[in-house]
Amino acid sequence: MSTETKPKAELYKRVDALWTTVRDQFAFLRQDPMAFAGMLVVAAFVFLGLFGPYLALHDPIEHTVRGDGGSVLRLTAPSADALFGTTAYGKDVLSQFLAGARPTLIVGLFGGLGTGALGFTVGVVSGYYGGWVDELLMRLTDLTFSLPFMPMALLLLTFMTPNIWLITAIIAAFLWKMPARVVRSEVLSVRERTFVRSARASGASNLRTMLYHVAPNVLPIGFLYTAYGVAWAIAAQASLAFLGFGDPTMTSWGRMLRQVFASGNMRVAWWWVLPPAIGIAAITTSVFLIGRAYEEVINPEIQTNQ
């Protein structure tokens, strides 16, 4: 085999392995109807997050829907002029819903990844090293548990201009505590197993033992809590936006609920309330359904009754 074809062969092998993994996970989720339905919802959510703003018929903030006579259509129910109706300000609800999926996806994805990565790292290091390292990191975790997320987030955003990345960072900085605790408890068990002791006896460094022998064995629980972190981040972002501390330059589902509440039409304009409310509920529930399916594999003690 020539030197030029070796990289291509290696690339094809990796793509084939990735495709095999995706196919296996798809087959696994199909065995659980609820998890499979959740996967479809998540796929639709990701699609809207990527392409929603391009699918929106109008600018969600600038455009004002007008009727044939040129008058602004305020609080109109779904019609041919506005498929999801209009807001009290004459804005198209469908366009706001489509555009609002992107900031929800950004915060959910990066907030969940940040939560999972930070919590996994703290849990692995704390559980493996023990001693004063464990004591220091766990006291820091306890401190995070003692600080309520919402009041602290509101306090920080009061003194800083809210934007999507700042909100994501705040969410990750406060929600990593649960993954850290769970991963640490798993590491405490794994580090005492024979293969870990053998690695140490063979002269492997602590870093190598931790990365190559301990971390891979607790990685599934880390992935599980990363998925949960996505749902937590989406719910947190929607809550902050509803309270008026979302990114003022972007339309989000939480901000839509904030606007309908502020307008006093929460009980009247159902077409304005239901799209963002259902969107938030659907994606958070779907992530938990998928996580539940994997949790039954990771933790054999949790089994659904057949």
What average pLDDT is seen over the chain? Answer: 84
Report how far Cα 2 is from the mean position of its chain's Cα atoms: 44
Looking at residue 306, what is its pLDDT?
42
Q: What is the DSSP string of 107-145?
A: HHHHHHHHHHHHHHHHHHHHHHH-HHHHHHHHHHHHHHH
Residues 230 and 111: beta-carbon distance below 8 Å: yes
- Model confidence pLDDT, tens digit, residues 96-119: 999 999 998 899 889 999 999 999
User: In whole angstroms, what is the distance from residue 234 CA to residue 107 CA?
Assistant: 6
- Model confidence pLDDT, tens digit, residues 142-195: 888 888 889 999 999 988 888 899 999 999 999 999 899 989 988 988 888 888
Average pLDDT over residues 124-144: 90
Looking at residue 18, what is its pLDDT?
62
31-68 burial, b at 16+ Cβ within 10 Å, e below that, comes to: ebebbbbbbebbeebeebbeebbeebebebeeebbeee
Q: Is the pTM of this model over 0.85?
A: no
Supply 32's token pair. Answer: 């659980």
Start-to-end C-alpha separation, the chain: 53
Looking at residue 131, what is its pLDDT?
86
User: In whole angstroms, what is the distance from residue 176 CA to residue 229 CA?
Assistant: 8
Looking at residue 77, what is its pLDDT?
85
Helical axes 215-242 vs 93-129, angle rounded to 10°: 140
Residues 198 and 213: beta-carbon distance below 8 Å: no
Supply 132's token pair. Answer: 């004063």
- Those residues whose C-beta lies under 8 Å from the C-beta of residue 102, and which sit 6 or more positions away, are 48, 49, 50, 52, 53, 250
What's at 251, amino acid-wise? Answer: T
pLDDT at 224 over 90: no
H-type helices in 56-193, by residue range? 93-129, 131-146, 149-159, 164-175, 177-190
- Model confidence pLDDT, tens digit, residues 5-36: 666 666 667 667 667 766 777 777 778 788 88
- Those residues whose C-beta lies under 8 Å from the C-beta of residue 138, and which sit 6 or more positions away, are 126, 184
In this structure, what are the phi and psi dihedrals at residue 63, rounded to the nearest 5 degrees? -75, 140
User: In whole angstroms, what is the distance from residue 292 CA to residue 36 CA?
Assistant: 12
pLDDT at 296 over 90: no
User: In whole angstroms, what is the distance from residue 162 CA to residue 244 CA?
Assistant: 10
Quickly tell me which residue has 């065995």 as its tokens. 31
Comparing 66-80, 248-262, 291-305, the range with the smallest average pLDDT is 291-305
Q: pLDDT higher for 34 or 1?
A: 34
